[in-house]
Structures are given as C-alpha cells and as structure tokens.
C-alpha cells in the first residue's frame, strides 16, 4: 500500500497482561505526528550440505520503533517513559523511572484514497535523546525523538493491526469510528 502523511497518533498503556488477555487503559492523543517508523528485524539461517543450500529459515526479532512528534505534553511523556509529574506541576527524570508497555495507533493517507489505520500492540520506549542548539540565521527545530522496541503480545502473539477504510471486505465500517476510542483487536465487534 502506498501511503502518505501521518496524523492522529494515539496511545494506551497496558495495565495488565497475562497468557490469556491484554488490558489497555483509556486511549489518549499522543501529540502532533512528524514520523513513526517501524523496522522489523528478521534473522535468517541457511543449512548447507552437498555444496548447496538445502534449507532456509527465518525468525522474527523485536521491531525497532522510532517516534518523532512536534512536542510531547509532560503527562504524555510521563506516561510513555514512566516519569513523574509532581503535584507542583514539575516533571522529573529519576533513576527508578520504568517505561510501561503501550499500544500506539495512528492514521496515514492512502494513495488510493481514504486512509490506513494502524495499532502497534506492545511497545516499550526508552528516554529520548535531547538536543538543544542556539538560534542561527536559518531557524531549526529540535523535536522529541523516542526509540523503542515492539514485541508480540503475551496472550496471542499479535504485533500490529492495520486496515484501509476503502477495503470492501471489512464487514463493519464503524470500526473506523472507534479506532481512537479503544485499541482495536483482530476480533473487534461493535458494542451496543
């Protein structure tokens, strides 16, 4: 699918997970999207015998994730990185910060018309590199750039879900109305 653009980034914190289910918090807006890159790692191996490759196999590793936004509100940054926003409104980094697993969802324009919607189900981010630079004659911006890894959910091995709103085989188009109010699952059905 040829896509262009990126908007409507959202996140939900994983509040509980087990071998039978994953539970997410309320879905919240993440921040103005600049880029969201997903790079799967594939490990390959060949078995050679009799001067040839007899078998070839692959296995998937963690997915490298890079998230770039125009800015992150302090509560969003705290949610994604396990930081604390104190009662006086100040935000701090601490040696004991522990980033939770989160789901990341968003939307990109499809070249065929309509939009592609996606959810990455289980991502853990690391603290961002911060760059600050004095003003020059030509303005430049330094924006938050988080990196992390996405790994499969514990209960079903699912990593991500995507859907094109122009796909005629999607049986209930109301799923797109719910996309940013809940983490959409492969078995999604509308609630009454």
pLDDT score, position 117: 96
The first and second tokens of residue 111, run together, are 């070249």
Q: Is 104 exposed, middle or buried (0-12, 13-18, 19+ CB in 10 A)?
A: buried
CB 87 within 8 A of CB 93: no
Distance CA 76, CA 179 (A): 19
**50-89 tens-digit pLDDT:** 889 989 998 888 999 999 999 899 999 999 999 999 999 9
CB 52 within 8 A of CB 46: no
DSSP-derived secondary structure for 72-101: --HHHHHHHHT-EE-TTS-EE--TT--PPP
pLDDT score, position 20: 95
Residue 6 has pLDDT above 90, yes or no: yes
CB 34 within 8 A of CB 69: yes
What integer is the mean pLDDT of 138-150? 87
pLDDT score, position 133: 81
Q: Where are the domains positioned within the chain?
A: 3-178
């Amino acid at each position: 699918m040829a896509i262009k653009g990126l908007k409507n980034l959202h996140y939900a914190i994983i509040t509980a997970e087990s071998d039978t289910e994953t539970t997410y918090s309320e879905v919240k807006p993440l921040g103005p999207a600049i880029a969201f890159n997903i790079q799967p790692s594939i490990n390959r191996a060949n078995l050679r015998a009799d001067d040839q490759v007899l078998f070839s196999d692959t296995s998937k590793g963690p997915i490298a994730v890079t998230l770039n936004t125009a800015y992150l509100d302090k509560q969003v940054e705290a949610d994604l990185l396990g930081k604390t926003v104190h009662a006086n409104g100040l935000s701090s980094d601490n040696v004991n910060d522990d980033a939770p697993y989160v789901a990341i969802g968003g939307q990109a324009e499809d070249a065929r018309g309509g939009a592609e919607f996606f959810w990455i189900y289980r991502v853990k981010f690391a603290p961002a590199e911060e760059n600050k630079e004095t003003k020059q004659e030509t303005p430049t911006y330094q924006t938050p750039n988080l990196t992390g890894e996405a790994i499969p959910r514990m209960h079903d091995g699912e990593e991500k879900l995507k859907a094109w709103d122009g796909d005629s085989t999607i049986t209930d188009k109301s799923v797109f109305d719910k996309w940013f109010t809940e983490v959409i699952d492969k078995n999604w059905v509308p609630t009454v």
